[in-house]
């Protein structure tokens, strides 16, 4: 079954230094390049439909979606029942977020009963990852203020990291390309090193009197291409936050909802968050939705603080679609499938690329893999696209160049072989 979409993606060489396309485009341009507000090279791909792990373009290409779009695709493309669920919920019209609707309640119940860690009973919906991480920063501050600790306002991030594109989340993260040009507008939040437990704890202790929270990606996404810290590191950070009642926020926008083979990425480590942030996979790529979840004791403190919603908090169509995405993940045991596929993906990548001249490191879990490069990532993304494969460009700070692989959880054996073969051919072709 194929669902028509109007998604248009850009990729290929030059993406990193791209400019707004619309600036130099003729007013009567009818090519896919007229799609504005997305930086990228001129060779825009127009995707008109999608099915399974394949994207179909207007000019007849079939592109293997090796990154689930932007790490959103988990149940695969073309699931009519997701659209049907959203359509059924959208007939009710708009309901202000302070009221409940059946779609909102159903999603909260499914999350609390089956997806969130024990004790996480409160959920705040948003329209995506950035709104969710930004809300988590706000939540940490509101929590401390409600406890009478007005001096606590900072949130420590990590270097490197990525948490979204609001000014708050750009500031708390450390992703040089995405911060460039905005520096004067960004608060200088403390940054923990990604792997050094002693140094990280020293920074937390140093700022403890003004720290409201610490935000971490359990496995780094686009900034570090799947950097994985040690268990000691996560234990030390968890303990330091507990000691000072600093809220530990796990940004699971990439790693959540089964991407690493467990429900949550933090479960891979002795990392115990107080606040859990998710986006991407919650809507499976079908709808824009994110969620911030926390424990009842923290939510109770916030009740006196007041926590302003967004206009589209709990949008009914999005909630119903997300509920269906989660139901499909459960029904088809897709998270266990990711856990089974993880070692197979690793074996294939290592065998094909372990000794490749352009490859520095291969790392990841489940269906979440980073390939650190000693050549230009844009060249690799472009060469892959020339072979009808989409891989995600990544890297910043200590990881200069990388590509990431994160296919939908329904990818089969032959498609996995195909993915690795196309990527290998792309890397071979890059000089
Ligand atoms: N947090 C992480 C870890 C991400 O990878 C991203 C996006 O890539 C975000 C937050 C922001 O999510 P969104 O792009 O949906 O706003």
**Gap from CA of 229 to ligand 1 centroid (Å):** 20
Domain with residue 150: its CATH number is 3.40.640.10
Is the pLDDT at 379 greater than 60? The verdict is yes
Among 72, 170, 221, which is best to mutate for testing ligand 1, by the most ligand atoms less than 8 A from CB?
221
Q: Which of 280, 305, 331 is the last residue of a domain?
A: 331
Banded pLDDT at 41 (limits 50, 70, 90): low
Q: Which of 304, 331, 358 is the last residue of a domain?
A: 331
Distance of CA 206 to the CA centre of its chain: 30
Kind plus residue range of the DSSP H or E element containing 427? helix 413-429
Nearest ligand 1 atom, CA 161: 3
**Gap from CA of 179 to ligand 1 centroid (Å):** 14
Centre a 10 Å sphere on the Cβ of residue 188 and count the other Cβ atoms it contains. Answer: 8
Based on the domain organization, do 69 and 97 belong to the same domain? no
**Gap from CA of 357 to ligand 1 centroid (Å):** 31
Based on the domain organization, do 271 and 284 belong to the same domain? yes
Based on the domain organization, do 105 and 203 belong to the same domain? yes
User: Which runs of E-coded beta strand occur in 194-312?
Assistant: 211-216, 247-251, 275-278, 290-295
Average pLDDT over residues 400-422: 98
**Gap from CA of 278 to ligand 1 centroid (Å):** 9
Q: How far apart are the first and last CA of the chain?
A: 40
Domain count, the chain: 3
Based on the domain organization, do 198 and 297 belong to the same domain? yes
**Gap from CA of 120 to ligand 1 centroid (Å):** 21
CA angle 285, 287, 291 (to 5 degrees): 95
Q: Which residues make beta-bridge pairs with 361?
A: 372
Mean pLDDT of the chain: 92
Based on the domain organization, do 87 and 67 belong to the same domain? no
Task: List, for residues 197-251, the tens digit of each pLDDT value.
Answer: 999 999 999 999 999 999 999 999 999 999 999 999 999 999 999 999 999 999 9
Nearest ligand 1 atom, CA 252: 3
Helix boundaries (H) for 354-409:
377-386
Nearest ligand 1 atom, CA 220: 3
Banded pLDDT at 306 (limits 50, 70, 90): confident
Nearest ligand 1 atom, CA 131: 16
3-state secondary structure 177-209: HHHCCCHHHCCCCCEEECCCHHHHHHHHHHHHH
Based on the domain organization, do 202 and 238 belong to the same domain? yes
Based on the domain organization, do 342 and 421 belong to the same domain? yes
Q: Could you tell me the pTM of the whole model?
A: 0.93
**Gap from CA of 70 to ligand 1 centroid (Å):** 9
Based on the domain organization, do 327 and 340 belong to the same domain? no
Within 6 A (CB) of ligand 1 lie 128-130, 133, 162-164, 217, 221-222, 251, 253-254, 279
3-state class (DSSP) for residue 154: strand
Among 280, 292, 310, 368, which is best to mutate for testing ligand 1, by the most ligand atoms less than 8 A from CB?
280
**Gap from CA of 404 to ligand 1 centroid (Å):** 15
Average pLDDT over residues 73-100: 95
Give CA–CA dist 372/226, Å, rounded.
9
Task: List, for residues 129-152, the tens digit of each pLDDT value.
Answer: 999 999 999 999 999 999 999 999
Based on the domain organization, do 12 and 131 belong to the same domain? no
Task: Name the residue at shortest CA distance from atom 13 of ligand 1.
Answer: 129
Domain with residue 386: its CATH number is 3.90.1150.10
Among 254, 281, 282, 392, which is best to mutate for testing ligand 1, by the most ligand atoms less than 8 A from CB?
254
Q: Residue 29: its pLDDT value, please?
A: 59
Average pLDDT over residues 254-264: 98
Give CA–CA dist 314/322, Å, rounded.
11
Based on the domain organization, do 202 and 302 belong to the same domain? yes
Pairing of strands 211-216, 247-251: parallel
**Gap from CA of 253 to ligand 1 centroid (Å):** 6
Nearest ligand 1 atom, CA 70: 8
Based on the domain organization, do 199 and 109 belong to the same domain? yes
Q: How far is residue 235 from each of residues 239, 245, 330, measured CA to CA in Å?
A: 6, 15, 30
Is the pLDDT at 348 greater than 60? The verdict is yes
Nearest ligand 1 atom, CA 279: 15
3-state class (DSSP) for residue 157: strand
**Gap from CA of 59 to ligand 1 centroid (Å):** 30
Percent of the chain at pLDDT above 90?
A: 86
Q: Residue 204: its pLDDT value, please?
A: 98
Angle of the 413-429 helix axis to the 334-353 helix axis, nearest 10: 30
**Gap from CA of 428 to ligand 1 centroid (Å):** 31
Based on the domain organization, do 52 and 101 belong to the same domain? no
**Gap from CA of 103 to ligand 1 centroid (Å):** 24
Task: Name the residue at shortest CA distance from atom 7 of ligand 1.
Answer: 164
Q: Which domain holds residue 170?
A: 80-331
Centre a 10 Å sphere on the Cβ of residue 146 and count the other Cβ atoms it contains. Answer: 17
Q: Residue 39: its pLDDT value, please?
A: 58
Task: Name the residue at shortest CA distance from atom 12 of ligand 1.
Answer: 129
Q: Residue 413: its pLDDT value, please?
A: 97
Among 127, 135, 158, 162, which is best to mutate for testing ligand 1, by the most ligand atoms less than 8 A from CB?
162
Q: Which of 316, 331, 346 is the last residue of a domain?
A: 331
């Amino acid at each position: 079954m194929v669902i028509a979409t109007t998604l248009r993606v850009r990729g290929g060489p030059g993406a990193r230094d791209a400019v707004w396309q619309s600036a130099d485009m003729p007013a009567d341009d009818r090519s896919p390049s007229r799609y504005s507000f997305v930086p990228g090279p001129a060779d825009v791909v127009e995707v008109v439909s999608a099915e399974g792990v394949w994207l179909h373009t207007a000019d007849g290409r079939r592109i293997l979606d090796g990154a689930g779009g932007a790490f959103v695709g988990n149940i695969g493309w073309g699931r009519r029942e997701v659209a049907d669920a959203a359509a059924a919920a959208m007939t009710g019209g708009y309901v202000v977020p302070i009221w409940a609707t059946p779609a909102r309640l159903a999603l909260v119940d499914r999350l609390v009963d089956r997806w969130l860690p024990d004790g996480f009973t409160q959920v705040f919906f948003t329209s995506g990852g950035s709104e969710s991480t930004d809300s988590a920063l706000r939540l940490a501050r509101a929590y401390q203020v409600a406890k009478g600790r007005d001096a606590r306002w900072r949130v420590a991030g990590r270097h490197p990291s990525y948490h979204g594109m609001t000014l708050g989340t750009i500031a708390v993260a450390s992703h040089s390309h995405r911060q460039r040009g905005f520096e004067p507008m960004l608060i200088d939040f403390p940054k923990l090193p990604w792997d050094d437990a002693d140094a990280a704890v020293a920074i937390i202790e140093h700022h403890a009197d003004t720290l409201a929270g610490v935000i971490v990606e359990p496995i780094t996404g686009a900034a570090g291409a799947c950097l994985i810290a040690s268990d000691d590191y996560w234990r030390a950070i968890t303990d330091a936050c507990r000691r000072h009642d600093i809220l530990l926020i796990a940004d699971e926008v990439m790693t959540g909802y089964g991407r690493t083979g467990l429900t949550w990425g933090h479960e891979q480590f002795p990392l115990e968050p107080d606040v859990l942030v998710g986006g991407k996979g919650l809507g499976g790529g079908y709808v824009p939705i994110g969620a911030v979840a926390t424990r009842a004791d923290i939510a109770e403190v916030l009740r006196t603080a007041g926590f302003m919603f967004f206009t589209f908090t709990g949008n009914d169509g999005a909630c119903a679609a997300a509920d269906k995405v989660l139901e499909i993940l459960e029904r088809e045991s897709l998270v266990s499938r990711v856990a089974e596929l993880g070692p197979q993906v690793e074996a294939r990548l290592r065998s094909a690329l372990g000794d490749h001249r352009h490859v520095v490191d291969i790392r990841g879990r489940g269906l979440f893999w980073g390939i650190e490069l000693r050549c230009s990532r844009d060249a690799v993304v472009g060469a892959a696209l020339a072979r009808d494969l989409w891989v995600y460009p990544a890297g910043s700070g200590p990881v200069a160049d990388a590509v990431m692989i994160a296919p939908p959880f329904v990818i089969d054996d032959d498609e996995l072989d195909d993915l690795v073969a196309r990527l290998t051919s792309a890397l071979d072709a890059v000089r």
